[in-house]
Structure 1
Amino acid sequence: MDNTIKAWLFDILNSINEIESYFLDTPKLFEVYQNDLRTKRAVERNIEIIGEAMSRILKEDKDIQISNSRKIVDVRNRIIHGYDSVSDDVIWGM
């Protein structure tokens, strides 16, 4: 596997771990997430990173099979380009 792709996969893993870290000291409940603007923005940013890295991986190697990769990229695009239509339900459902 190409080192560039490995770097993007590492970025994805780091972003996933960062999202998980937001819920170490608080319950992982939708209502808690919904009422915490800082956490919401931080989660959205990490989803943007995950989606961008996924998009780059798919462009670099079309043979790579990653579950839900298209959905991940689509959610990233919705956050970036349709910021006014992003709902907490969509983000929480990721």
Structure 2
Amino acid sequence: MPSREWQLRVQDILNSAIAIQNRTQGYTYEQFCDDETVNKATLYDFVIIGEAAIYIPSTLKEKYPDIPWRMMADMRNVMAHEYFQIRLRTVWEGVEMDIPLLIEQLNELIKHENL
């Protein structure tokens, strides 16, 4: 039995995505790279996103196949276990392109699931 309900895990993903967006707002890639506190906090939020995604029920993942559940989990695995492979350019691309879309997708999920 999971230690946390899936509804809370969806909210965890959304909260971490919003935190990433808020933390990096107005930053350039160069500023992001130069600010170790911000980039490490961002990595931590990506780990939370991936960890929470792992525990989303498969029925919900199938219902919302456009949400990159697997990619979130895979990114977490790299950050936690293959940390030496982390490329800040790739993380920054996720911040710029993937996080805004993920926030939209999760807000739609929350609306449709009445969370």
For 2:89, give the aligned amino acid: D
Q: Which residue of 2 aligns with 1:30?
A: 29
> What's the RMSD between the two structures over aligned residues?
1.5
Q: Which residue of 1 aligns with 2:84?
A: 84
For 2:69, give the aligned amino acid: S
For 1:51, give the aligned amino acid: G
Alpha-carbon offset, residue 45 of structure 1: 0.2
Please show how residues 1-94 of structure 1 align to structure 2 within 5 Å: 4-24=5-25, 27-57=26-56, 61-64=57-60, 65-66=64-65, 67-94=67-94
Q: Show structure 1 runs of 5+ residues with no match.
A: none
How many corresponding residue pairs?
A: 87
Q: Show structure 2 runs of 5+ residues with no match.
A: 95-115
Moved over 3 A (4+): none
Asked which structure has the greater RCO (Cα within 8 Å, sep 6+), the reply is: 2
Q: Among all aligned residue pairs of Structure 1 and Structure 2, give the percentage whose two residues are the same amino acid.
A: 25
